[in-house]
């Protein structure tokens, strides 16, 4: 009897193992040629799985843009000197494929310069863009063009922004470009001599459909949605950036790379403001939907949606006494006012989306994107 049971157990275990190997782990990556022309790289700052789960739950599980992605990965976020990263080190990892110490931007712990995939794309003739709700000199956008030992070196970052050649940049940070000087002139004038149109609100931006443009919509941070930012700003700015970049790239074999950041999911996380996290994640989600719609109608476009780290240790509990957004008795609790070290998700959509999957390091993601773009 014992032998029979053992025998059955072995057969059952073997079947289970076979089943598991078929279903779990990184799926077999498809081989053969696959090339990406346009990359829409979207980063929800501070957006862990809990923040995405909260949005899905509060939407009553109606399908979100995130649900459209059939290809998922998870990334490790630790920095070179800390298990819990900041946005500068994580941005550097996601932009260049290299770990650095917290606080450093586009530069290694020993001061070595790390070129971002956006800078490499620029050199090879791609159009480039940045769309954020913080100032353009902030850590996440800065990681794509700046190289400084400290993310707080806003004057240097502003100068490097002007020299970056980025074609479309939308966000805050007007003050640093007005006050910063180069050769006795405000940096904002230097932009104009480099053939940029500089616009100061979305109406003005809507009159632009091609060329180089910088939209400066706030002195420093744009307001959060809770404090009055248009809840469709990121979505509308994303659509406009995609229109301008694709018009600029028309007729060229090279397309564009744009980084779009849901910047203030993080700040609302630091404030432990559940309602604010939801509002910012929803704005980001609408932008993700717009990017996916663009990919549907523009073959060769890859959308990569991820986060730099999770913020606030958000947990979704059944607790009627806590702050409740929904009528369902769901509570939102916070483990910290800082960042956490949990894995964050990657959602892939569009061209070659099935080439990236599994559990990987945050530094692997830009390497995979660069390979799909055939960057040298």
Q: What is the dihedral of CA 63, 259, 226, 199, to 10 degrees?
A: -130
- Helical H segments across the chain, by residue range: 2-23, 49-58, 87-96, 117-123, 139-142, 154-164, 174-179, 187-193, 202-206, 233-249, 265-270, 274-297, 364-372
> What residues contact 200, with CB distance under 8 A and at least 6 apart?
174, 215, 216, 217
Binders of Zn ion: how many residues, by CB under 5 A? 1
Instruction: Note whether 301 and 295 are within 8 A (CB).
Output: yes
Collapsed DSSP state (helix, strand, coil) of residue 260? strand
Nearer to Zn ion, 101 or 266 (CB): 266
Q: Which of 58, 266, 285, 364 binds Zn ion (CB under 5 A)?
A: 266
Whole-angstrom Cα distance, residue 42 to residue 192? Answer: 28
Nearer to Zn ion, 37 or 138 (CB): 138
State the nearest-atom distance from the C-beta of 338 to Zn ion, in Å: 7
Give bridge partners of residue 186 from the DSSP assignment: 181
- Tell me if residue 164 is catalytic: no
State the nearest-atom distance from the C-beta of 90 to Zn ion, in Å: 9
Stretch that binds Zn ion, among 66-74, 251-259, 261-269, 329-337 (CB under 5 A): 261-269
* Contact status: 119 vs Zn ion (CB under 5 A): no
State the nearest-atom distance from the C-beta of 227 to Zn ion, in Å: 17
The CA-atom distances, in angstroms, between 374 and each of 72, 356, 362 are: 22, 15, 19
The residue at minimum Cβ distance from Zn ion is: 266
Nearer to Zn ion, 310 or 368 (CB): 310
The catalytic residue among 69, 79, 87, 267 is: 87
Nearer to Zn ion, 36 or 84 (CB): 84
* Contact status: 280 vs Zn ion (CB under 5 A): no
Stretch that binds Zn ion, among 59-67, 132-140, 263-271, 281-289 (CB under 5 A): 263-271
Active site residues: 87
> Can you give the binding site for Zn ion, defined by CB under 5 A?
266
């Amino acid at each position: 009897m014992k032998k029979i049971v053992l025998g059955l157990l072995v057969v059952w275990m073997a079947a289970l193992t076979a089943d598991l190997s078929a279903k779990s782990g990184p799926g077999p990556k498809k081989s053969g040629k696959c090339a990406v022309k346009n990359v829409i790289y979207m980063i929800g700052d501070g957006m862990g799985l809990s923040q995405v789960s909260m949005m899905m739950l509060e939407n009553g599980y109606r399908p979100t843009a995130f649900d459209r992605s059939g290809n998922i990965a998870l990334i490790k976020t630790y920095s070179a000197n800390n298990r819990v990263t900041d946005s500068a080190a994580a941005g550097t990892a996601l932009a260049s494929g290299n770990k650095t110490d917290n606080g450093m931007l586009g530069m290694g712990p020993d001061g070595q310069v790390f070129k971002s995939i956006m800078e490499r794309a620029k050199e090879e003739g791609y159009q480039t863009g940045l769309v954020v709700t913080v100032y353009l000199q902030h850590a996440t956008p800065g990681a794509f063009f700046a190289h400084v030992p400290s993310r707080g070196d806003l004057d240097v970052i502003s100068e490097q922004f002007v020299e970056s050649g980025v074609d479309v940049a939308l966000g805050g940070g007007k003050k640093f470009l007005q006050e910063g000087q180069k050769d006795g002139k405000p940096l904002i004038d230097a932009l104009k001599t480099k053939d940029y149109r500089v616009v100061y609100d979305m109406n003005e931006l809507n009159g632009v459909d091609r060329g180089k443009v910088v939209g400066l919509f706030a002195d420093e941070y744009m307001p959060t949605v809770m404090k009055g930012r248009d809840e469709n700003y990121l979505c509308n700015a994303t659509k406009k950036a995609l229109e301008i970049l694709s018009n600029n790239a028309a007729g060229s074999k090279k397309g564009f790379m744009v980084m779009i950041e849901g910047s203030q999911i993080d700040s609302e996380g630091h404030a432990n403001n559940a309602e604010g996290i939801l509002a910012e994640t929803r704005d980001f989600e609408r932008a993700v939907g717009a990017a996916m719609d663009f990919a549907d109608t523009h073959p060769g476009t890859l959308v990569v949606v991820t986060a730099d780290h999770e913020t606030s240790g958000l947990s979704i509990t059944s607790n009627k006494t806590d702050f409740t957004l929904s009528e369902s008795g769901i509570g939102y609790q916070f483990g910290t006012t800082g960042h956490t070290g949990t894995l964050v998700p990657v959602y892939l959509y569009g061209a070659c989306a099935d080439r990236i999957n599994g559990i990987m390091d945050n530094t692997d993601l830009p390497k995979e994107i660069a390979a799909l773009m055939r960057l040298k």
